[in-house]
Amino acid sequence: MFKKRTTALFILSFTLIMCLCTPLFSQSNHPIDKPTQPNSKYVMAYFPEWGGINGDYHVWDIPAKNLTHIFYAFARLEADGRVEVDSKKQGLEFEYPEGVGAPGVRGHLNQLIELKKKYPHLKTLISIGGWELSMHFSSLSTTAEGREILAKNAVKFMREYQFDGIDIDWEFPVSGSKYKDKQRPEDKQNFTLLMQAIRDEMSQYEKQDGKKYLLTAAVTVGVFRQKHLELEKLADLFDFVNVMVYDMHGRWVKDKTGHLSALYPSSASGGINQGINGDNGVQGYIKRGFKPEQVMMGAPLYAAGWKGVSHEYNGISQPAEALAFGITEHKGYWEWRSIVSELLEKRPDEFKLMLDKEAKAAYVWAPEVDGGTWITCPSRDSYQAKIDYINKHNLGGMFFWDVSNDVRDPKHKNALITFTADQLIRGYPAPKQD
């Protein structure tokens, strides 16, 4: 009895000490070799082969402790069905500086293989296509032979560079593509047939390779485009889908502001894009056959801005003279990390981070700068709304476009990937907002 009581007292004392020493809200000090909660979610990010807007982001900059999946964007699909590295220089030949990454390993693709050795929990997927490289999906998918060639080459690429799956970024079947002359009404059915061909090709190697390969896709948030997909059939083929809850409004509209990533409609928008929001888009997939845990909520780590903005509704959905200044030659474009460092921290009296409480969408408002400067952007508040939504509706998790745009220091209070991982992976409670 004495021995049992002594052991119990020791365990109780040890537990109290651990509780006192463990912070309530982690700042990414905890690796995630395995989930810390039974209901842990996925936290995923796209890694751009080109190294982000300034070309200075590399595999070893990825906050791997705070991610479960990385999508390598993008592989190039050729007209004959070959799947190739888009930039051989970046993907395979780039020599990392001394002291960064795995010594002597060239190129992002090979560094990614080494990164997984250090973080065994991490899964990687090769994303094929994207906005610029989707021109050949439609033509190749029109025949069984074309689909088979594409599938074989995609799986070959996946296995050669030791990825754990394939992410199809066909933007977009039937309509909405950059290459409008390369779209067909029959893309709707052919998209499904292509996914089946890739799934069949994968299954041939799973036993041989001793692993289950993942098949995913980046898909539209707009319900008006979801009708171009056979969602009821695709739910049985995909492990999960990444719903792009962003690009609802952007720099292509030069004379009017608008939310980049609204979770809900907003009365301030005056009816603009009322049917395009995260809730409407996500529920569209669930209503048509996808399990909630198959659906991933997309979140942007970039922003767009306008100047000469009307002051009504704090600039939300208001007329604008033009795109505002930005951080690159692309007017109006901002990374989240640059908004934090250049505007919120250096010019806090001019630029205020705010939230449209109806849309759960963040923005920066500077009424005295350039006749009214308005920037649609992410924030801790808008991310918290997405995290709460994921938990409430039991979605699979969250993903980001793209990882290079976040605050580089994962311990910074505005590092949004850490903010998300602490709640969705490690199960910590939401922190108190400022």
pLDDT of residue 432: 82
pLDDT of residue 272: 56
pLDDT tens-place values along the chain, 434 residues long: 433 333 343 333 433 333 333 333 333 333 443 445 556 899 999 999 999 988 999 999 999 999 999 999 999 999 999 999 999 999 999 999 888 999 999 999 999 999 999 999 999 999 999 999 999 999 999 999 999 999 999 999 999 999 999 999 999 999 999 998 899 999 999 999 999 999 999 999 999 999 999 999 999 999 989 999 999 999 999 999 999 999 999 999 999 999 999 999 988 766 556 679 999 999 999 999 999 999 999 999 999 999 999 999 999 999 999 999 998 777 899 999 999 999 999 999 999 999 999 999 999 999 999 999 999 999 999 999 999 999 999 999 999 999 999 999 999 999 999 999 999 999 999 998 66
Euclidean distance between CA atoms 381 and 385, whole angstroms: 6
322-323 and 302-307 beta bridge pairing:
antiparallel
Burial 374-389 (b: 16+ CB within 10 A, else e): bbbbbbbbbbbbbbeb
Provide the residue type at 278 as one letter: G
Residues 6+ apart with CB under 8 A from 8: none
Residues 6+ apart with CB under 8 A from 236: 289
pLDDT of residue 271: 54
User: Phi-psi bin for 293: left (phi > 0), alpha (psi -120 to 50), beta?
Assistant: alpha
pLDDT of residue 268: 79
pLDDT of residue 18: 36
pLDDT of residue 74: 98
Give me 293's structure tokens.
């845990």
Please give the domain boundaries of the chain with CATH numbers for all domains: 30-300+378-424 (3.20.20.80)
Number of residues written out for the chain: 434
pTM exceeds 0.75: yes
CA distances from 214 to 197, 198, 202, 341 (A): 14, 10, 9, 37
DSSP state of 164: S
